[in-house]
Amino acid sequence: MGDIHSFAYIDPSARVLDPQLSIFLQPERIRIGAHSRVDGLVKLQGGEGLTIGKHVHIASHCTINAGGGTVEFGDHSGCSNGVVIASGMPDLSSLYISAADPIERQWPLHLKTVIGKHVVIFANATILPGVKLGYGCIIGAGAVVTKDVPAFAVAMGVPARIVGRRVNQADGTMAIEYLPKLRDLAAERDIERVRAHYGNAMPEQMAVDLVNFVDELTREMVP
């Protein structure tokens, strides 16, 4: 259904591979930015608006904008095979939840789902409607994300829980630190100690953010 020539916009440098194998619904509401790549065997739904940024990769068997709301996909992000990013769902306060029900009995909820910049979503994860994934976060394979994920967080599981955070290394790369170590490091809220642990490669504000990140997670876990 639909074809890439019907898209609202597709940058000349973007690549949609094997489009004859994919499904494009409401293509006139789909926009794809520069140097992005969409593999074959995907389903893209324009809904109320699907914007794919620059240098984004959508792997095969993904469904993007399920439910027909709005999805924004930030630059330099990507999703592995089988990822579902939803933006709509039936109103569960109604008994009638089927899209095949008479139109007068359908009460769909159309929300906005945002994938931030530099986000990676691993295979078969599902992002539920209305969720926002923060800058640089990682979503583990098979996760079901039901609420917002903050910047640089690592979330895994069903439902997804935050298990760690990406941090700057002294050599300029990033690494994943898991919560037990982060809690120990941030226990005294000593910003310079946190920075020194990473060879002072971590900017002061990022160290402050890391300590606050651990504090907030700890408060959430207290019954």
What is the model's pLDDT at position 223?
A: 40
Residue with tokens 């789909």: 30
Arithmetic mean of pLDDT, 194-214 = 81
User: What are the start and end residues of each CATH 2.160.10.10 domain in the chain?
Assistant: 4-159
CB atoms under 10 Å from CB of 116, counted, come to: 21
What is the model's pLDDT at position 222?
A: 42
Write the pLDDT tens digit of every residue in 68-80. Answer: 999 999 999 999 9
Q: Binning pLDDT at 50, 70 and 90, where does residue 1 land?
A: low
Q: Which CATH architecture has domain 4-159?
A: 3 Solenoid (2.160)
Residue 221 pLDDT greater than 70, yes or no: no
Q: Which among 96, 100, 128, 102 is positioned nearest to 115, based on CA atoms?
A: 128
pTM to 2 decimals? 0.89
Write the pLDDT tens digit of every residue in 184-194. Answer: 877 777 888 88
Write the pLDDT tens digit of every residue in 46-65. Answer: 999 999 999 999 999 999 99
Over the chain, what is the mean pLDDT? Answer: 91
Residue 220 pLDDT greater than 70, yes or no: no
Report, in angstroms and rounded to the nearest whole number, the Rg of the chain calculated over CA atoms. Answer: 20
Arithmetic mean of pLDDT, 29-34 = 98
Q: Where are the alpha helices (DSSP H) in the chain?
A: 179-186, 191-197, 204-221
DSSP letter at 134? P
- Which residues contact residue 120 at a Cβ distance below 8 angstroms, ignoring those fewer than 6 apart? 77, 78, 79, 138, 139
